[in-house]
Structure formats: structure tokens, C-alpha cells
Amino acid sequence: MAWRAWARSPWGCGSPAWGAPGAQGRELCAGRAPTLLLSPRFNFFIQSKNGFRKAPRKVEPRRPDGGIVGENYKRSALTPPVEETVFYSSPYPIRNLVKPLFFTVGFTGCAFGSAAIWQYEALKSRVQSYFDGVKADWFDSITPQKEGDFRKRVNKWWNTLTDGQRTVTGIIAANVFVFCLWRVPSLQRSMIKYFTSSPASKALCSPMLLSTFSHFSLFHMMANMYVLWSFSTSIVSILGKEQFVAVYLSAGVISTFVSYVSKVITGRFGPSLGASGAIMTVLAAVCTKIPEGKLAIIFLPMFTFTAGNALKAIIAMDTAGVILGWKFFDHAAHLGGAFFGMWYVTYGHELIWKNREPLVKIWHEIRTNSPRKGGGSE
């Protein structure tokens, strides 16, 4: 399913960011509209050494390169090249979720704490760069400029990006890098262990974060990254880049934990991967902040509806998927990301981000009283 969403700002119209005081009910800017492609966290089933019983299957002759000879050796491009397995319900107790729960809480706290320190250092560096600006301008005026058309083009392109687009560039690059790692045959076993999430896996905690950057299908990755790129300007304008990074990383872990809980309750332990849980947080946050924003289906632009109604429809679909046991999408992760995004822009910002001052003061004291070069401190 694909959607097109836009508004006068900040999606390419040059006016102040959504979420600013008094910003309500912005009209459409149909000329430069980002596209909302809702893509799933794909569920797939793989062979795993975690007590799963392999379903009886016909033994196929092997090719010299290790492949199977015959017409049955046809695999979807959406799943990793591993033997498929039928998963049976196993008695995984709720207590197995204790460790992922502590990891979720601890990682979320560290993410927001690091973001607060990052913002402090950025502000301090910005003040320092102001005084260094005059010196830098004078130095550039007496030194010859470096030549190179490619470098000039890259700098020109980079300067045209918004703060949000610059912020998500690193996230997109990380996803592309992990996508390339999936193509290395010798890394397949490690990728399945650490870059797919399942409560039945031996590695429980690290995949909760790493699977957020993991895509095996090119279409899956492109759809998710396009949505992130399209809404990056809006969400960063609302939260700021430091807070956005903390929310995005936390959303990936939180949505995976919700997926763990759902899988333990239902007894379906198929591993999942993809950034859709975190991206659902971004979409839900923007739709909650600007519920009057107009959306339209990408192939049917004549039909429009509000962002608030679109969010309700998405939540209804994922809720039905969880209840009815649809297996192609990780609907539980979608719901976890959506509810976290709605909660954060409504209450979480006030409860978490605006109470970061004690931590910043402690960090300031550490920086101020740290030993200086030559010994001693002030």
C-alpha cells in the first residue's frame, strides 16, 4: 500500500516546521509532496538451532555448489537464502522476556541521555565556531581553493538538504551497508543470528537494535528509506536532530520488544527484520502532531483524507493482523512503533526530554571540573 502525504511545511514548502506553537491545520502544497509508502517489517521463517523441529520434507539431491536440484529450489527475493522451517508452538515462558525488557529500558535511557549530552556539546561547539568564523574566513581568503568538480557538486548537494535529510543520511547509509552484508555468503549465519529478531533466538538483546537496520529485500529497504527520507524534515523540525535520533533508535528497540511479547503469547517465533517499526513511530508522531494534514493514495490522488484518519486506519489494519494471525507482516512491531510515536509527542516529550536538565548539569560539572593539560583542575 502506498500513500502520498504533504503539507505546506516543512515538506518542501519553506515555511516553519510542524509542531511549532500555534501551528494548526496546514493546507496542502501539492507541488512538492513527499510520498508515504507504508512497508512492513517482513516476517520470514528460517532454520534455527533453538529447539525448533524441522517439518518432514522430501530429500532433494544437491548440486556441487550446495544447491538443490529440481524445480522446488525457487525462493522469494524477500527472504534470506536459508532452508525454510515450520515452527511449532513451544513453551517459551514469559520470564524469557525479562532480559529484553531490561535491555529496552536501559537502552532507551542511554539513548535519551546521550542525545541530551550531544545537544549540550553541539551548542557549545556552535558558540566556539562563531568565534572561529572570522579566523576561518581570513584563512580561506589567503589560501587557494581546492579544485575538483565532484567535490564541489557533493558540497552543493549537501548544502541543499534540510537538517532532517542530513540527519537521516547516516541512518540510510547504515541500512545500505547492512543490506550489502546480507550479500556476503560467509556472513549469512551471523546475519541471521544478530540481524533478525526472535524471542526464540540465543541472541536476544543485540538483534533488537540491529534488526532495525537490516533488510534482505531491496524493495523492502528502498520503501522504508524513502518514507524516512520523505518525513525526515517534518520529524526533525518537530523534535530536533538529537531528540529525533534518540526517539528513532528507542522506537526500533521498543517495537521489537512488543513483537517479542506478541510472539511469546501467540507461540509464533518467526524472526523479523526491517525498520518499519521505527518508521511507524515517525509517521504516528507526525500524524498525531498534525492530524489535519491532508493525505492521498499515491495512485489515486483525487481521494484525500486527513492524517488523523489515516493513522486510525493503519492502527486498525495492524490490530486486525495481530488478532487474525497474519504472518507476512510483523503487525505487532508496527503497533508498538505507532503507539510509541503517539505517546511520545503527546506526553513523552514533556516527561523525558524536558526533564533532561539534571543530567546536563552533571555533564557540565564533569566537563568544567575535568583535569586540564599540565595537571591540576579549576
Question: What is the pLDDT tens value at each position of the chain, 378 positions in all?
Answer: 444 444 333 444 433 344 444 444 443 343 344 444 444 444 443 333 344 444 444 444 433 333 333 434 344 455 565 444 334 444 556 778 899 999 999 999 999 999 999 999 988 887 776 555 545 555 555 555 555 678 888 888 888 888 999 999 999 999 999 999 999 999 999 999 999 998 888 888 999 999 999 999 898 999 899 889 988 999 999 999 999 999 999 999 999 999 999 988 888 788 899 999 999 999 999 999 988 877 766 666 677 878 788 889 889 999 998 888 887 788 999 999 999 999 999 999 999 999 999 999 999 888 888 665 444 444
Residue type (1 letter), 130: Y
Catalytic annotation, residues? 276, 334
146: cell is: 581546492
CATH superfamily of the domain spanning 94-134+163-369? Rhomboid-like (1.20.1540.10)
**Domain spans in the chain, listed from the N-terminal domain onward:** 94-134+163-369
224: cell is: 522504508
DSSP state string for 237-300? HHH-HHHHHHHHHHHHHHHHHHHHHHHHHHT----EE-SHHHHHHHHHHHHHH-TT-EEEETTE
* pTM across the whole model: 0.73
Cis peptide before 10 (omega within 30 of 0): yes
Contact 181, 255 (CB under 8 A): no
Q: What is the pLDDT of residue 367?
A: 85
Dihedral (Cα; 184, 176, 207, 328), 10-degree rounding: -90
85: cell is: 522451517
Helix (H) or strand (E) holding 3: strand 2-5
Cα–Cα dist 186/120, whole Å: 42
Cα–Cα dist 115/242, whole Å: 5
Helix (H) or strand (E) holding 368: helix 357-369
- Residue 275: name the closest of 343, 324, 229 by CA: 229
List residues bridging with 36 in a β-sheet.
3
Percentage of the residues of the chain whose pLDDT score is greater than 90: 41
Other Cβ atoms closer than 10 A to 348: 18
